[in-house]
Structure 1
Amino acid sequence: MLNVINNLSLSKKVILICALCSTLPVAAIATLSNFTLDHTALLILLTLFLSILLSKVLTKSIKQGMQSLETGLLNFKDGELSSLLAYKNNDELGKLCQLYNQTAKQLRQEKQWIYQRELMLDKVLQSSPQALLLVNDNNIVVFSNLISRSLFNSITRLEGMQLGKLLSTSPLQLKTAVEHGVDGLFNIEIENQDSQTWHLATGEFLLNNQKHHLYIFKQLTRELSRQEVAVWKKVIRIISHELNNSLGPMSSMLHSAQLLANKVDEPRLARVFATIDERISHLTEFVQGYGKFAKLPQPHKTRVNWQNTLNNLKNHWQFSYEIKNSHHELQADQAQLEQLLINLLKNAHESGSNITEIHIQVECVTQACVINVSDCGKGMSEQVMANALVPFYSTKSTGSGLGLALCREIAEAHQGHISLHNKIEGGLNVQISLPYS
């Protein structure tokens, strides 16, 4: 009996209490007044009916308020915060419903603020130059950004994939670094491309009471290249300074010696002085070339007209060219761009290739302008290709080792990059990618 009463709703308990409180006194009064049994029963039933009817009327607002609060709390449970309660009676339940509406409004504003922050955070993470990978305790990828798809050679979203399956199609060095799970540097060797240097940072944290692993991959190839070039430039400036300090006095002393030699009838002195003068001139030109590399100015960008640029180059070099999608406009330093192409054309002509097979292709794709300078010469060995972009490195007896290094410096000054590839049919293809912005 007690369990049945406990399971009743609050409004029914109130009705039951009202019924008992009204019928018990009536029954006691009827018994003391010596009413007949029929009259007593009739009086009790009438009192019970009136008390139930009256209590229902009085508890109707309570029932409505309780139902409103129940509906509102169910909405909270479902994450719905836009619905407000219509119960507005001036009683305790009315105040509770008013407090509920105020709380729902505040929570809705906070939810919208959190949603906007999540949108901003997602935008930042998706456009981040660092590859991000979030994996739960079951080794399932729950978040990744756009660049991580490129890192893991995937054209589809990584979310929902098993980490082991994802690593099975990834470069071996990347797989090893993730499996070790230790912060540090690693190199990725890609066929027909330069080696890439990456840094892996890892972390663990709880999300929804489940342990998650965060992997952050940052590519350091360009940064290391910049540091390498900066070191070379410093070395070149020091060497140029020391050489210039010696060449100036040597040239002055040579001029004085030639004036004195004119008074002596000795033809061998003239040949000696001529040789010294020629070597000083060559060394001066050599130092000036290195100085040009070490002091490359910031690009002064203007709109590039590829038709005019390539036609101007054809006045001095023999090659064929092709321009695709020229409606995209590239902003670049005209002088530096021409110097880059001149260096590549010079190398192509010295590669042993037939001049009719030296070709420049300019293709303006969605995000960058891609320039391919190709020949059908001897190509490059792996060792030469690995060092070809390093300053001072040259396989030519008269080379300075600055041609391709200067090309790389110009490309990177335009926020682009340069890569070398041996062609299957023989020869070399140099690819430069220059972004529009």
Structure 2
Amino acid sequence: MSTSSHWSFSGRILLSSGFVLTCALLALAIALHHQVPVLFACSVILLVSLMMLFLLLGHYTRRRQRILATLEDGIKSIKDGDLSLRISPTPDPDLARLIDLYNQLTTNLKQQKQKLNQKELVLDSIVQASPMATLLLDKQRHIVYHNAAARQLLKKQPGALTGSSLEVACDDLPTALAQALNSGYTGMLSFEQQEQKHTYYLGVEPVTLNYQPHSLVICKNVSAEQNREEIMLWKNAIRLISHELNNSLAPIQSLTGSAQTMLSQQKHLELLPDMLDTVSQRAHNLSDFIQRYAEYARLPAPSCAAHAIAPLLERLQALYPFTLLGTVPADTGYFDVAQVEQVLLNLLKNAHESGSDKGEISVRVVQSQTRLRFAVVDRGSGILPGNLHQALQPFYSTKAQGTGLGLSLCHDIITAHQGQLRLRNREKGGLMVEFDLPLGENPH
């Protein structure tokens, strides 16, 4: 290969121009030596020189255009996902570096694609083996991905699920579960079917796939786990009630026996009033204890009406002081004021008993579309992260003398208002309890 083949495009133009100019000057000198008319000689030599220059430039340009066209095809292939096209090296120094970068790019992309495919295969294997039903929906709510648990839940073959709408895919599910999935419900769902209680956990998260919005839907039947947990809770409740009854009945029985002995012997009768007061007090405490459980068991349906938020907070602030964050929404909420007041009382009482400084206990109320969102925060001891899911269950308590009914009662009241109550530990210590209520009679 000649040295000129490594010249740049501009260098070749200069070389070609110099060569043609040299030839033209030689031709002119020869023509003048043979006494050819100057004008005629110059015209012919100029014409021939321009033709030679155009031919050389056309050759170089066509060669360069072929390389650029090949490079363009390669870039289009990358855009279409085809990384197999490689371009042979060129002696043109202007394009050699560009082609080398293109070949390096395709090699790197191919390696990254292979690694990504391997990760996708591993992730797909994990998701397919997961006992939690997983569905990926596009923005039209059509199923674009599903795992084995989802096919088992929906009772469908793989070919019948891909591309079908979620509503059609849920046609064999119980009505309550199908409605919850189609509405995008997140949380625990319980319903009865054929005289059996079923409990499912549902979750929906927005994701982006190929620059398009999608929804990731998960669903798991937790009926067995829920039943085991309920059995353990009721066992704890029975032990708690038995303990409280024994604590109250044992001294009552002892004091009653002593009183009978005093009466039969007619001795120490002056002690009888104190003994009877003690028996009365223990009986009163036992009555209060049983009353709390009775109230939990027969929680009435909420009697909702329109209520302003500010007067409610003012009444509560007189009982359990707190700092009001932000401005209270002017719109009225639609709720049972007595029940919601009881919820806030329980939450504020817990905040004051959590060890938090009173100045760190705050309440915020914000309006979000058709809902009112409440948050009660403190800087107390919080709840152990592993126990957050149990804190809303009945009879679970972190307090030595707690009955485990306060947060559970709050949860039931908010659920009866078609809301959700959530617990979250704060980063610098303390707890945040959030719940929402409807703004109007028909919030949905």
TM-score normalised over the length of structure 2: 0.47
